[in-house]
Amino acid sequence: MVNKRKASQITREGMVTDEAFQPLLQETYKGKKLTDQINTAEDKWNLLPAFLKVKGLVKQHLDSFNYFVDTDLKKIIKANELVLSDVDPEFYLKYLDIRVGHKSSNVQSNKPVPKEVNLVPHHCRLRDLTYSAPIYVDVEYTRGRKIIVHRDLEIGRMPIMLRSNKCLLDGIDDKQMASYDECPLDPGGYFIVNGTEKVILVQEQLSKNRIIVEADEKKNIVQASVTSSTHERKSKTYVITKNEKIYLKHNSISEDIPIVIILKAAGIISDLEILQLVCGDDSNYQDLFAINFEEAAKLEIFTQQQALHYVGKRVKTIRRAGAPKLSQLQEGIEAIATTIIAHITVADLQFREKALYIAMMTRRVLMTMHNPKMVDDRDYVGNKRLELAGQLMSLLFEDLFKKFNSDFKANIDKILKKPSRVSEFDALLSINIHSNNITMGMNRAISTGNWSLKRFKMERAGVTHVLSRLSYISALGMMTRISSQFEKSRKVSGPRALQPSQFGMLCTSDTPEGEACGLVKNLALMTHITTDDEEDPIRKLCFVLGCEDILEVDSATLHSKGNFGIYLNGTLIGTTRFPAKFVSDFRNLRRTGKVSAFISIYTNTHQAAVHIATDGGRICRPLIIVDKDNKSKVKAKHLAKLMQGNWAFDDFLQHGLVEYLDVNEENDSLIAIYEKDLIDPSKTNITHLEIEPFTVLGAVAGLIPYPHHNQSPRNTYQCAMGKQAIGAIAYNQFRRIDTLLYLMVYPQQPMVKTKTIELIDYDKLPAGQNATVAVMSYSGYDIEDALVLNKASIDRGFGRCQVLRKNTVTLKRYPNHSKDVLSGIRVDDNDHPIPPHASLGIDGLGEVGTKLVNGQVYVNKSVPVNAGESVLNKTEPNQSTESMRETPAYYKGAEPAYVDQVMMSVSDNDQALIKVLLRQTRRPELGDKFSSRHGQKGVCGIIVQQEDLPFNDDGISPDIIMNPHGFPSRMTVGKMIELISGKAGVLNGSLEYGTCFGGSDLEEMSEVLVKNGFNYSGKDMLYSGITGECLQAYIFFGPIYYQKLKHMVLDKMHARARGPRAVLTRQPTEGRSRDGGLRLGEMERDCVIAYGASQLLLERLMISSDAFEVDICNKCGLMGYNTWCTTCNSSENVIKMTIPYAAKLLFQELISMNIAPRLKLGDVF
Amino acid sequence: MTKEETKLFIDEDNDDMDVSMPQISNINIDSTHESMYQESLNEQGLDDSDTDLELEEEDPIIESIPLFINSIGEEERESQSIHLLQYSSKPKSIPQTINHVGAAVKPESNFIKVKIPLDTNKFYDNSKTEEWGVAVNEHEHMGVLNKTNGGLYAAKYVIKDGEKQVHLIPIDSTAQLRPSFKYLDDIENSKMLQRKESFDQSAKPQSVHVLQSTAKNTKTSNNDPFVSTALGESLKHVRRFDQEEWSNVTWEDDENLEKFTESTTKLQTKTTMDDYINQLTH
């Protein structure tokens, strides 16, 4: 009990800044005295804040972007370093180095590198600019005979991810943050492009360069496929079965090639060796495989050359202009060497690695044919890779850079081709001409979200999204979101299902409902996504650790029993006979920090393989290492160091107490959830200990108190609703000018918190209020989850929110030198401003703080009348400049608004940019939507005077009355416990915890209630506010945290008697924004028909809609006009009648197609 | 290398997974051969680390035997190199010693060719000889020489003056030799040639046109940045391989390894375990 209390008092955790150091100097730190005993089982959770301190919630984005600008860019430059001329063989230009955001001269060893960005991020937001930094390259090129090295050549500007290491905000303290108008709690990880905040969502993909074996049992097909991905190309190679025979399939080969022929083409000529490589000495596999030899023998292919001819003949040649024509043999070699399984490179004509890879794929197919259980699971998280901002940017940049170079090459070729050049040609002069390409390309891709890569012929839309700033949590939720590449319409359940392997990696609760259910996921709290690591050192290390080089391993013994293959990123590099020792040696090296912590290694006994992964995009998470004696390696002394601030998370990593495991390696270990599980004598081979079990949930699901007591869908509903709650957005929320901003006027931190809430600083930027709730029925206006609100509470500010809306006006300049201007106020005879201009200042802009009602002007803009006129035929210059047309910006809205901010600035192209922020303050009204944190939403059904509401002994009346029918079917027990804990907290003066799998104990809470003279169950005796009598039942009564959701009646209410009509059809317009009509739809029409209310139907569908009087000639049946039939040239038989305008339109359209619709009219009566 | 020696590295008796029939051959190369041997501490440390790592486990030291590292003398280096040749298609049942008819290398392309007499007594189809018109009596084995980046040694265990010694000689490269059925290809190629000739004769006037069109083709240079106009890397290798001449080498068998076991300096490591691991991982 005592310990629990202490844990709960551990209050919010400081930031990475100097202020965070202050609590250390106090006598008590985080509720503990230095002399207090440390309980490892309880306090090991402190590793989590330590982890978040170094890793943060959006660290995956930042890591990825940092890797891209620091490492990946250099690799791209290296791969495309030379620009040569076709004309002049002497000429070359070589890229030596690339840097983003600083010049070479600015690098000094001891000083931090200055960051060269265009502006402070917030100014970019306000001024609709892109937050970017210059990209500098060092080049070496020839000018005449000389070789010139030019440093710091700017080739474009790179959008900078906020809080990345190139960002101004990296590593500064809160004070500086405030001086930049930036919120210290803002996670960063997004870009600012043209003033909008854009997030590149994490994309989920199947892992590259790995073999995936799948089986279709109905069709009796087994296939092994591998998606090869290199810088140059992406291609997929299949090894499939067809009628029990095995073939290799590839897009660039017109027909499936028998596997034996492919292997022969790859240099494994003898049938014996093929059998050895594919089957080993397993007679089952040999029997299954034998049939394949017959096919090759039938085709009389025995040698490599014959096989290459066979393959080359079937290669689909995409002949590109300029490429030399290849012979059949060359085509075959080219196919084997570069096209098939492209990620394995062939050097020195050493095809063995490639042959082994194909053989291995074949072997996997054979294994699956023999035992169908050997298939791989596509949905297994270990087979997935997450693509982050950095990787996507790198793909884009390489494409743009290649384009840049080829443009440059074309440019210099054009100049060099000229036979007589006056001066020496300087290549740099032409490199600057098109330097806008890279900048524009990056900007466009990020702002539209269309990733088009010419190299891979890839077009991907919807990669970026506007960062949702509805609330702090919605922005945070967006940063941890993972979108899948699967089509939403496909009706397969596999990809949507909850995978056991996502435990601890992806949040189990946070997924949207509906079509994207299970396809959009969220990261769990304590995850890390790897970036690419170098393969070569690892390969060398493997050889030292006793791996035998695959090139020296004999085919006959490759698959002998006890021989384990060692696979580095899916490619066989060697074998070992001692896999256990190899793996443990490797892990030891990793734990001592000699190898990167994010490299995973695990054994797969089914495949007799040791897999090592160094590639990027794997999800991993830290776990405490448990030693051989089942003791946690993290001891009290270590935690003491952590809590005193002497150790950070990385120290735990370096001392081998904690390590990162990815999903595959997790499968190779036994993880205890609690420290008490370690004592269990039946479990002897525990390898790891969970840091905190509540990290299975993500940031958004972490807000829910006692989620482990709720029915699981309720938690999922809350995850969706938590993002719609109105609250505080950021510390700089009043400086922001966003298109639409919702702010809560008096947000409160929840009284029942969770540890997650503290970790993600939700308590500093909350979205909701602690309402006193009575669970009872009242007034009948509370059916269907409707809530009864207390009017006095609303008066006191409960649920009050502000809505800020941005209105942008640009003052354009026109080619004829005229431009838009602001005109002043127009006044009436008494020198008073005319009513529409009442809130304008003399500058023609709305004055800050003034009220705007419907139809009033807030920017009085005027446009020149003849702006389109060209400069040339301008006859009267005076007239053209003076004649202006007023085009003021009106305020439109039923409720008045107030001018909150007016900003005037200059945008990119020298045009004045005016942003006017209009504010509305709203109090809750009937129909506004509220929700607790348990997926229990409801609208306000009635607002009741406080005196009519029930009250308890202390005279407290509820803020909200909730109908008890909300509980039985929803089974949100967590909400009840939240009420009890909250009530106990109020009585106790403490904030209670509802952390998942933990939190304040219900029994303890009940004790507190009893101690304070309340019923243990949280039920109180209430008195009716109307009669003053005691209510017949005890009422469940206490505080519950309620969120106000963004759906408000004011934004939705809509009615129309008459109003605007569409031009074409003369029917009422559609939609609230256009003051549209309310549609009597098809199904409603059916009802009216079925009921037989034909006059109603006539009225709804025609008279109230698009009734139109036409003149119809009863003789020819066509339409005339003015009682005159043009076809018959008479007015004899013309009859007036009313038809829908749409029908008239149809007739005319039919006539235009040479179809004559003739109406035959008859008398009804 | 005898079986006894293999045991030094892998302590399992029947462990012959490494190579089915390893044979160390010392080849005298006519042309100059790039020297790639360096007596770096790296390699010495390798053996050291292996033993050290094993020490951590319950793996007591039974006996320590001094190591001697040998190298081919600097002058001989020019013309000599040591290679490990693996005959991957030769079953164990065939005796180890192989009579070589000849060997040749293409040093630029790292390719080796070994000719072995074919046993025409057994499993030999004489009728094919007549059919093809070629008498095949020797077998070509070819393989790519994989440069070892150090760390691979031929070892010899000797008892000298009552002291047990292990002598190591670094190996330059390894190669897995595979039979190439060149005679089959030759037959096919000659057939193709004949066919082509007859075709060419019948369609001679057309060939002029072809020439013209190709000339046009090369002129239209493309601006597509994603296509390299030159031959692919692998085809360049093929071309280099085809252009390079075979250079014959003389052959010395592993009996002559005695010649190298002369070094008298005991190998002692200067690198510590930590240094070594740091070298590896950074």
- The pLDDT, as a whole number, for residue A955 is 92
Which range marks the domain in which residue B22 is found?
3-181+244-281
- For residue B53, give the nearest of A321, A575, A585 by CB distance: A585
Report the sign of the C-alpha dihedral through residues A153, A159, A162, A164, in that order. negative
Q: Give the Cα separation of A310 and A979 in Å (integer).
A: 76
Provide mean pLDDT across the span A865-877. 60
Measured between beta carbons, which residues in chain A are less than 8 angstroms from residue B15?
Answer: 577
- Contact with chain A for residue B12, Cβ under 8 A: yes
| Range B131-151 burial, b when 16+ CB lie within 10 A, else e | eeeeebeebbbbbbbbebebb
Secondary structure in 3-state letters for A316-328: CCCCCCCCCCCCH
Distance of alpha carbon A293 from alpha carbon A276, whole angstroms: 13
**Residue A564 C-alpha, separation from nearest chain B C-alpha, in angstroms:** 11
Residue B199 covered by a domain? no
For the ranges A976-985, B138-147, B212-221, the lowest mean pLDDT is seen at B212-221
Per residue in A1-30, pLDDT (tens digit) is 444 444 444 444 434 444 545 555 555 555
Q: Are B181 and B138 in contact (CB under 8 A)?
A: no
- State the virtual CA torsion across A286, A290, A292, A296 in degrees, nearest 10: 130
d(CA A495, CA A481): 16
CA distance A767 to chain B (A): 48
Q: Determine the Cα–Cα distance for residues B18 and A1124; give it in Å rounded to an integer.
A: 104
Q: Which two tokens stand for residue A114?
A: 């200055």
Among residues A152, A271, A413, A785, the one annotated as catalytic is A785
Q: Is A510 marked active-site? A: no
Chain mean position to CA A606: 36
The answer to whether A159 and A446 have CB atoms below 8 angstroms apart is yes
End-to-end CA distance of chain A: 91
First vs last C-alpha separation in chain B: 35
A272 CB neighbours in chain B (<8 A) are 89
Q: For strands A937-944 and A787-790, give the pairing.
A: parallel
In angstroms, rounded to a whole number, what is the distance separating the alpha carbons of residues A1017 and A957? Answer: 19
Listing DSSP states for A343-358 in one string gives: TS---TT--HHHHHHH
**pLDDT class of A322 with cuts at 50, 70, 90:** low
Whether A551 and B146 lie within 8 Å, measured CB to CB: yes
Judge: A86–B221 Cβ closer than 8 Å, yes or no: yes
Give the mean pLDDT of A365-373.
89
Q: Which of A36-50, A565-579, A941-955 has the lowest mean pLDDT?
A: A36-50
Among B179, B238, B277, whose Cβ lies nearest the Cβ of A589? Answer: B277
In a domain, B56, yes or no: yes
Contact A273 B178 (CB under 8 A): yes
B258: confidence class by pLDDT, cuts 50, 70, 90: low
Number of domains, chain B: 1
Rounded distance between C-alpha atoms, residue A45 and residue A372, angstroms: 43
> Could you tell me the pLDDT band of residue A36, with boundaries at 50, 70 and 90?
low
The residue with greater pLDDT, A107 or A1022, is A1022
Please name the residues in contact with A1009: beta carbons below 8 A apart, sequence gap of 6 or more.
Answer: A980, A983, A984, A987, A1015, A1016, A1018
The closest of A97, A94, A131 to A115, measured between CA atoms, is A131
- Residues 6 or more apart from A413 whose CB is under 8 A from it? A85, A86, A87
Domain A211-385 has CATH 3.90.1110.10: yes
Nearest CA in chain A to B185: A305
User: Does the domain formed by A802-868+879-922 have CATH 2.40.50.150?
Assistant: yes
- In this prediction, residues B68-80 reach a mean pLDDT of 66
**pLDDT, tens digit, 9 for 90 and up, residues A51-105:** 777 777 788 899 899 999 998 999 889 888 888 887 777 788 888 989 888 887 7
Chain B residue numbers touching A325 (CB-CB < 8 A): 214, 217
Mean pLDDT of chain A: 86
CB A730 within 8 A of CB A472: yes
- Which residues have C-beta within 8 Å of that of residue A637, sequence separation ≥ 6? none
Residue A593: which of A660, A528, A654 has the closest Cα? A654
Tokens describing residue A145:
């005979």
Give the pLDDT score at A804.
94
Task: State percent of chain B over pLDDT 70.
Answer: 52
Query: Between chain A and chain B, how many beta carbons pairs sit less than 8 Å apart?
Result: 155
Look at B165 and A1027; give whichever has higher pLDDT: A1027
Report which of A1065, A1139, A1059 is spatially closest to residue A1098, judged by C-alpha positions: A1139
CB A236 within 8 A of CB A225: yes
Q: What is the CATH number of domain A1072-1152?
A: 3.90.1800.10
Whether the CB-CB separation of A734 and A769 falls below 8 Å is answered with: no
Edge-to-edge strand order for the sheet containing B67-69? Answer: B67-69, B163-170, B153-160
| pLDDT computed for residue B40 by the predictor | 32
Label residue B281 by pLDDT band (50, 70, 90). Answer: low
Residues A415, A423 contacting (CB under 8 angstroms): no
The per-residue pLDDT for B150 is: 67
Q: Which two tokens stand for residue B82?
A: 């040591």
Domain spans of chain A, in order of start? 211-385, 767-799+925-1044, 802-868+879-922, 1072-1152
Q: Quick one: tokens of A95?
A: 């890229």
Least confident of A667-676, B222-231, B245-254: B222-231
Separation between Cα atoms, residue A192 and residue A446, nearest integer Å: 9
The verdict on residue B91 lying in a domain is yes
pLDDT at A1010: 95
Q: Best residue in A341, A544, A555 to probe B by mutation, most B CBs within 10 Å?
A: A544
Task: Compute CA A270 distance to the chain's CA centroid, rounded to the nearest angstrom.
Answer: 52
Residue in A closest to B143 by C-alpha: A350
- pLDDT higher for A922 or A111? A922
Does residue A179 or residue B20 have the better pLDDT?
A: A179
CA of B144 vs chain A CAs: smallest distance (Å): 6
Question: Are residues A689 and A1008 in contact, defined by beta-carbon separation less than 8 angstroms?
Answer: no
pLDDT of A91: 82
- Buried b or exposed e, range A52-64, using 16+ CB within 10 angstroms: bbebbbbbbbbbb
Partnered with residue A487 across adjacent β-strands are: none
Q: How far is B191 from chain A (nearest CA, A)?
A: 13
Is pLDDT of A924 > 80? yes
Find where tokens 């020297």 sit. B35
pLDDT in the model for residue A728:
93
Q: Which long-range contacts (CB under 8 A, 24 or more apart) does A212-215 make?
A: A212/A376, A212/A378, A212/A383, A213/A364, A213/A365, A213/A367, A213/A368, A213/A374, A213/A375, A213/A376, A214/A375, A214/A376, A214/A378, A215/A368, A215/A372, A215/A375
**pLDDT for A1031 beyond 90:** yes
With cut-offs at 50, 70 and 90, classify the pLDDT of residue B274. confident
The helix (run of H) or strand (run of E) holding residue B146 is: strand B138-147
Estimate the crossing angle of helix A579-591 against helix A536-544, to 10 degrees: 130
> Looking at residues B117-122, what average pLDDT do you find?
74
- For residue range A733-754, what is the model confidence (pLDDT) as tens digits? 999 999 999 999 999 999 999 9
* Residue A1072 DSSP code: G
SS3 A1107: strand
Query: Is the sign of the CA dihedral A183, A184, A188, A191 positive or negative?
Result: positive
Contact residues, B window 219-278, toward A, CB-based 8 Å cutoff: 220-227, 229, 231-235, 237-238, 241, 277-278
- Tell me the shortest Cα–Cα distance from A338 to chain B, in angstroms: 8
State the Cα–Cα distance between residues A571 and A565, nearest whole angstrom. Answer: 10
Structure tokens at A1033: 């039942």
Give the model's pLDDT for residue A437: 84
Distance from CA of A677 to the nearest CA of B (A): 27
Is the CB of A552 less than 8 angstroms away from the CB of B179? Answer: no
Average confidence (pLDDT) over B170-190: 80
Q: How far apart are CA A348 and CA A860, in angstroms?
A: 75
Helix axes A283-298, A271-279, angle to 10 degrees: 140
- CATH homologous superfamily for A767-799+925-1044? DNA-directed RNA polymerase, subunit 2, domain 6 (2.40.270.10)
**DSSP H helical segments within A98-164, as ranges?**
121-127
How far apart are alpha carbons A1059 and A1077 in whole angstroms?
A: 8
Task: Please provide the average confidence, as pLDDT, over all residues in chain B.
Answer: 63
Percent of chain A with pLDDT over 90: 40
Taking phi over 0 as left and psi of -120 to 50 as alpha, with beta for the rest, A780 belongs to: left
Compute the distance between CA of residue A247 and CA of residue A244 in angstroms, rounded to an integer: 10
B280 touches chain A (CB under 8 A): yes
Whether B241 sits inside 8 A of A454 (CB atoms) is: no
B199 pLDDT more than 60: yes
* Closest Cβ–Cβ partner in A349, A545, A577 for B238: A349
- Minimal CA–CA distance to A61: which of A206, A204, A201? A201
Question: Percentage of chain A with pLDDT > 70?
Answer: 92
User: Model confidence at A420, in pLDDT bands (50, 70, 90)?
Assistant: low
Cβ pair A174, A184 in contact under 8 A: yes
CB contact at 8 A, A129 and A157: no
- Tell whether the model's pLDDT for residue B81 goes beyond 50: yes
Q: Are A61 and A165 contacting, i.e. CB atoms less than 8 angstroms apart?
A: no
3-state secondary structure of A455: coil
Task: Kindly indicate the confidence band of residue B232, based on its pLDDT and cuts at 50, 70 and 90.
Answer: low
| Confidence at residue B78, expressed as pLDDT on a 0 to 100 scale | 62
Count of beta carbons in the 10 Å neighbourhood of residue A747: 21
Let me know: does A1152 contact A1145? Beta carbons within 8 Å.
no
A575 in B contact zone (CB under 8 Å): yes
Q: What is the ipTM of this complex?
A: 0.73
Tens digits of residue pLDDT in A681-692: 777 788 999 888
Residue A473 has what pLDDT? 92
Chain B residue with minimum CA distance to A277: B88
pLDDT of residue B271: 75
More confident residue, A507 or A17: A507
Instruction: Please report which confidence band the pLDDT of residue A424 belongs to, taking 50, 70 and 90 as the band edges.
Output: low
pLDDT-derived band of residue A435, with 50, 70 and 90 as boundaries? low
Q: Helix, strand, coil: what percent of chain A each, to 5?
A: 30, 25, 45
Q: Is the pLDDT of residue B12 over 60?
A: no
Average pLDDT over residues A973-993: 93
| Mean predicted confidence (pLDDT) in A396-407 | 88
> Across residues A813-824, what is the average pLDDT?
84
Taking an 8 Å cut-off on Cβ atoms, the answer to whether B280 and A549 are in contact is no
Nearest to A322 among B179, B220, B277 (CB): B220
Q: In A, residues 429-468, which contact B (CB 8 Å cutoff)?
A: 454-455
Cross-chain residue pair A306–B111, CB shorter than 8 Å: no
What's residue A910's pLDDT? 80
Q: Which residues of A touch B235 (CB under 8 A)?
A: 326, 330, 333-334, 337
**How large is the angle between the packed helices A712-722 and A472-479, nearest 10 degrees?**
110
Which amino acid would we find at residue A157? R
C-alpha B60: how far from its chain's center? 36
Any idea how long chain B is? 282
